[in-house]
Amino acid sequence: ERKRFYQNVSISQGEGGFEINLDHRKLKTPQAKLFAVPSEALAIAVATEWDSQRDTIKFYTMHLTTLCNTALDNPTQRNKTQLIRSAVKFLETDTVCYRVEEPPALAELQKNEWDPIVAWAEERYKVAIGSSTSFLGPNIPASTKETFVSHLASYNMWALQGIEYVVTQLKSLILSMGLIDRHITVERAVLLSRLEEEYQIQRWGNVEWAHDYDQCELRARVAAGTLFVHLCSESSTVKHKLLQD
């Protein structure tokens, strides 16, 4: 763990976008590229993460910084098509489509809480999704996948990194689209993603150091991812040079 080595955090605008200054030093990515983001609001939020650090720098709390680093460095070397494919693949095992039959109370809860969001996605995107209790999961028509692939292609590379991140965290493309489309809040999305845990907590009790700990972490990551997507998609604030469509 590194000690905080800077007094002041500030933002400046460079050729490639908005940069973060730690005292007089410019922040760099893990691969030593200049840290520059396309949105001023995003830069401010990243600066706030750095300024919130006290004696030691806790990188695992700096979710927006991490997302920006991923977008800038692209360490997994994936292109747009690969990111989209990775996100849409989750549909085959989407949490909200994968149902249990037992115990009946949980099956009922899944029906009541998840059916509406699936119905929303089907209506919003004019696709058939459905749900399944089969071991193999739901059978998603190819046309449905195509629709989502087309839709995601309209997002730029930075936003797609964010979207794929949120999908991976929530284990659900549908819940992620619900967030991106501002249909549900982060708290609701996390609750729906963790529905079975919530059911067990109701039945057996809450264990703060595990349940709340996990819930807070998931909320933080999903909130960061969602904010990242929205801030990277706003055409008014975005510097297009960086976004490499």
Partner 1 sequence: MAALGSPLRTLRGLLRELRHASSPAGRPYRDTPAYKHIIAAFRAHRVTSEKLCRAQQELHFQAATYLCLLRSVRQHAALHREYHGKGERSPEEVAGLVGFRLPQQPGGKG
Q: Give dist(CA 195, CA 109) in Å, integer.
A: 8
Distance in Å, CB of 102 to partner 1, minimum: 31
56, 179, 223 from 166: Cα distances, Å? 27, 9, 9
Among 13, 52, 134, 143, binds partner 1 (CB under 8 A): 52
Stretch that binds partner 1, among 139-147, 153-161, 162-170, 214-222 (CB under 8 A): 214-222
Q: DSSP label at 30?
A: T
Comparing CB distances to partner 1, the nearer of 44 and 195 is: 44
Comparing CB distances to partner 1, the nearer of 140 and 164 is: 164
Q: Restricting to residues 9-48, which ones interact with partner 1 according to CB under 8 A?
A: 10-11, 40-41, 44-45, 47-48
Of 48, 63, 30, which Cα lies nearest the Cα of 222? 63
Does position 54 interact with partner 1 (CB under 8 A)? The reply is: yes
Among 31, 61, 79, 82, binds partner 1 (CB under 8 A): 61
Three-class DSSP category at 17: strand
Comparing CB distances to partner 1, the nearer of 144 and 161 is: 161
Comparing CB distances to partner 1, the nearer of 101 and 208 is: 208
Distance in Å, CB of 163 to partner 1, minimum: 14
111-150 burial code (b ≥16 CB/10 A, e <16): eebbeebbebbeeebebebebeeeeebbebeeebbebbee
Query: What is the pattern of x (binds partner 1, CB under 8 A) and - over residues 184-213?
Result: xxxxx-------------------xx--xx
| Ramachandran region, residue 244 (left: φ > 0; alpha: ψ -120 to 50; beta: rest) | left
200 contacts 194 by C-beta, under 8 angstroms: no
**H/E stretch holding 26:** strand 25-26
Name the site residues for partner 1 (rule: CB under 8 A): 10-11, 40-41, 44-45, 47-48, 51-52, 54, 58, 61, 63-64, 182-188, 208-209, 212-213, 216-217, 219-220, 223-224, 226-227, 230-231
